Amino acid sequence: MPQSAEKVLDHRPLFRQPEYQEMLKNKKEKYEGGHPDAKVQEIADWTKSWDYREKNLARESLCVNPAKACQPLGAVFAAAGFERTMSFVHGSQGCVAYYRSHLSRHFKEPCSAVSSSMTEDAAVFGGLNNMIDGLANTKALYDPAMIAVSTTCMAEVIGDDLHSFIEQAKGKGSVPQDYDVPFAHTPAFVGSHVNGYDNMMKGIIEHFWKGKTATPGTKLNIIPGFDGYCVGNNRELKRILDLMGVEYTFLQDASDNFDTPSDGEYRMYDGGTSIDEVKSALDAKASLSLQHYCTPKTMEYIEGFGQTTASFHYPMGVRATDELLMKVSELTGKEVPEALRMERGRLIDAMADSQSWLHGQKYAIYGDPDFVYAMARFVMETGGEPIHCLATNGTKDWEAQMKTLLASSPFGKGCQVWAGKDLWHLRSLLATEPADFIIGNSYGKYLERDLKIPLIRLTFPVFDRHHHHRFPTMGYQGALRVLVMLLDKIMDVMDDDTNEPGVSDYSFDLTR
């Protein structure tokens, strides 16, 4: 008997014990009715061939292991960045449980959102009654400062009109007329979570700005975009802006909401942009979007008020941070302080110290469009070579922009850009044209296992490593952390490669 109270074996060691191995072998041989091992191996080998790659890339309808989620997830994330705001997702109930658990699994934090729980009746008669009761209950139970409404695909397919529903609900006394209920249609069959973010941001801003005119002041609006590392990043950016002495408003900031302390009190809401801040953001000097592809409609709407805007592709790495700081400086007239030049210098110092290990490393990078752009750029700054850049939710525009970026550096020459492809495509690409490392999220662990290419987790979602998102990846400090992540993996691989005594005693160096 393998189990004992003294040393309790859980699944990881338990099922390796001979009793279980024997049992599983027996199950396989007698009952599973599987394909012969040789056949399985033959197909397994074939899935890594060029022939398979071509067939795989020819796929038009089936999507396998995509690196994207549906719009309402982005909307729920966006709403979580506003003070005391409850997400209300109009449609079927299950979806909301999904968004909540998805975000909880990444942040290791509570995530609140409610649903109008539409069922078959609503499919026939529309979901107006669900909206009326739902808004009233949400307000009564959770006492939010505002309720941000988005939609699951059910509500979209039956064509519920949020604007009219909310008006009618207010007319029926569900919530007071002057109570803030911004909304966004977030059809799951259009775009991805980054568009859901965009739609919700625009919905909230429009709710408070519509019909007003802007009087440009001195403050900057910062719109971070969908960022699983918002906890570390937003705080880091605030530190940088404070150092510069800039006045700013984060339009959407989930950093406190997704990082509440454990002190005995459960906070359903924490931090976030207040309604007053959203209102006064209209009179800002300029609005900066940190993630271009998360905010096209939002920025267009803001431009409509005559505000100056600028967008970035996830300011991670040296030049991306430089550009952000110079833009902020240009817009506000504040100089970049010496302290930040020192931070930059220390980052460059670290990169120089380690350049011999970084130079020429080949990376496959996947994730949301702005992240992939930034990551590829930073990798090239270290002397690394991106060879596959993939965004399942990447558009033609993104593809073109990526190509321009890659063409700007000799380190980008060998790189191919894959817009709209999924991680099963990436498996074929890496099986035929391998990289040294994969940069992505937790889902990449299946690629790592299949192809024996080490994975570096640097973007949402990270389910199987803890707390990475609590540290920044943006700014010079963030870049330093990313650099260390790359270096640790590079050097761990070197040690793992050479740690067999009597076989590879050489190369197992103490100092590198």
Query: For binding to ligand SF4 (CB under 6 A), which residues are involved?
Result: 70, 72, 95, 98, 152-153, 188
* Residue 263 binding other proteins, by CB under 8 A: yes
Q: Total binding residues for other proteins by CB under 8 A?
A: 97
Q: How far is the CB of 485 from ligand SF4 (least distance, A)?
A: 31
Q: 434 or 461: whose CB is closer to other proteins?
A: 461
Tokens 């394909």 belong to residue: 35
Rule CB under 8 A: which of 401-460 touch other proteins? 424, 427, 443, 446, 450
CA 211, CA 219: separation in Å to the nearest integer? Answer: 21
Q: 71 or 401: whose CB is closer to other proteins?
A: 71
> Which listed residue (76, 153, 231, 415) is catalytic?
153
* Residue 362 binding other proteins, by CB under 8 A: no
Tokens 């039956």 belong to residue: 158
> Which listed residue (63, 157, 190, 493) is catalytic?
157
CA 268, CA 266: separation in Å to the nearest integer? Answer: 6
Q: Where are the alpha helices (DSSP H) in 309-395?
A: 318-332, 338-358, 369-381
* Residue 29 binding other proteins, by CB under 8 A: no
CA 347, CA 352: separation in Å to the nearest integer? Answer: 9
356 CB burial (10 A radius; 0-12, 13-18, 19+): exposed
Q: How far is the CB of 99 from ligand SF4 (least distance, A)?
A: 7
State the binding string over 72-91 for other proteins (x if CB under 8 A, else -): xx-----------------x
* Residue 465 binding other proteins, by CB under 8 A: no
Is 389 labeled as catalytic in the residue annotation?
A: no
Q: 297 or 403: whose CB is closer to other proteins?
A: 297
The interface partner of residue 184, options being ligand SF4, other proteins, none and the CB cut-off 5 to 8 Å by kind, is none
* Residue 57 binding other proteins, by CB under 8 A: no
Helix (H, G, I), strand (E, B) or coil at 227: coil
Computed on alpha carbons and rounded to an integer, the radius of gyration of the chain in Å comes to 25
Is 153 labeled as catalytic in the residue annotation?
A: yes
Find out whether 85 and 143 touch, Cβ atoms under 8 Å: no
* Residue 38 binding other proteins, by CB under 8 A: no
Q: 73 or 320: whose CB is closer to other proteins?
A: 73
CA 390, CA 422: separation in Å to the nearest integer? Answer: 8
Find out whether 388 and 435 touch, Cβ atoms under 8 Å: yes
CA 322, CA 476: separation in Å to the nearest integer? Answer: 9
**Pairing assessment for the beta strands 455-457 and 85-90 based on DSSP bridges:** unpaired
Q: 141 or 326: whose CB is closer to other proteins?
A: 141
* Residue 118 binding other proteins, by CB under 8 A: yes
Which residues are designated catalytic? 153, 157
